[in-house]
Amino acid sequence: MTTILSGIQPSGTPHLGNYFGAIRQHIRLQDDRAEAFYFIADYHALTTSRDPVQLRERVRETAITYLALGLDPERAVLFRQSDVPEVCELTWLLATVTGMGLLERAHSYKDKVAHGVKPSVGLFAYPILMAADILAYDSTQVPVGKDQVQHVEMAQDMAGHFNAAYGDVFVRPELVLPKLDKHAKVPGLDGEKMSKTYGNDLWIFASGKPLKKAIGRIATDSRAPEEPKDPSQLLLFDFLRLFLDSEEIESWSSRVRAGGEGAPGYGHLKQRLIAAIEEFFAPARAKREELLADPAEVDRILARGSERARERACRTRDRALAACGLR
């Protein structure tokens, strides 16, 4: 049976780029005839986070976000990484067969150090923990973006090294790249890549005045409404395409392209975008409010997910320990 595994970084309030780039795909995968394991990577977060209160809040916010947006805990296993300590045992076992050269080639480590992150041992060994996460659940498919391809390839290498030394213990995972999607790249409010780091992001659950204020920041120029414009060159249309069907997009495009009296201005387009976002995420916002009002239910979901995940991870851990003589 196909087993899907993916990690979710508890990086704070998720934005539109997170939704269209990953969250939506994760939720869709639960409809396939496959097992889906999704862990909130709080161990990984410790390589950069030093605020325990903030980390706990971000883990909870991540769980609530996925549940509000449609993840069904009966069809997908959602859990905290730190609730499955067996991955730390597997990390050590894999570390004993992993060469330093493999870790030294890690793009993520080099990039983070280059951007000022302190080069700790944890950051250096990050790929081994990630490999343990992947291998612990006998994962067969790991959906990743292009920036995560190397981590899956390193997990394949580590599984191969361990199996060569001790026999067939770990299942070799295969990476799955996302299909080309017009929604895959979501621009920021300034036209650059959407990122919390750049301060150009839009929170998924923004509504009312905060949403209106954020949409008001979308970069435009000083051209008058009646001046003909190319919709493909307008940042506002990149956002509208995320939420409107092709027929409505074409209608707005034709009017903007033609210009003249009655042509919509940037204000009209922003008003339509606000209404579309409000409508699109309305059910998820309502579900989020329910979850915020019942924190015990969120705890129960995560506890049950951790229990199911540990059942699988314990079997893998025991198999690995026996293979190398520790059982």
- pTM, 2 dp: 0.92
Question: Rounded to an integer, what distance in angstroms lies between the CA atom of residue 24 and that of residue 33?
Answer: 17
- Is residue 112 flagged as an active site residue? yes
Cβ–Cβ < 8 Å for 142, 131? no
| The 77-80 sheet, strands edge to edge | 77-80, 35-40, 3-8, 141-143, 174-176
Catalytic residue chosen out of the listed positions 112, 118, 146, 179: 112
DSSP 55: H
How is residue 90 written in tokens? 């597997």
Catalytic residue chosen out of the listed positions 196, 229, 270, 287: 196
Domain with CATH 3.40.50.620 in the chain: 3-184+295-323
- Is residue 209 flagged as an active site residue? no
Domain with CATH 1.10.240.10 in the chain: 208-288
To the question of domain 208-288 being in CATH 1.10.240.10, the answer is: yes
Class of domain 3-184+295-323: alpha beta
Question: Rounded to an integer, what distance in angstroms lies between the CA atom of residue 27 and that of residue 8?
Answer: 12
Give the H/E segment covering residue 8: strand 3-8
**Phi and psi angles of residue 311, each rounded to the nearest 5 degrees, phi first:** -55, -45
Taking only the tens of pLDDT, the chain with its 327 residues reads 899 999 999 987 899 999 998 899 899 988 777 899 999 999 999 998 899 999 999 999 999 999 999 999 999 999 999 999 999 999 999 999 999 999 999 988 888 888 888 889 999 999 999 999 999 999 999 998 777 899 999 999 999 999 999 999 999 999 988 765 555 578 999 999 898 878 999 999 999 999 999 999 999 999 999 999 999 999 999 999 999 999 999 999 999 999 998 899 999 999 999 999 999 999 999 999 999 999 999 999 999 999 999 999 999 999 999 999 998
What distance, in Å, lies between the first and last C-alpha atoms of the chain? 28
- Is residue 118 flagged as an active site residue? no
Catalytic residue chosen out of the listed positions 193, 209, 229, 287: 193
**Count of beta carbons in the 10 Å neighbourhood of residue 283:** 12
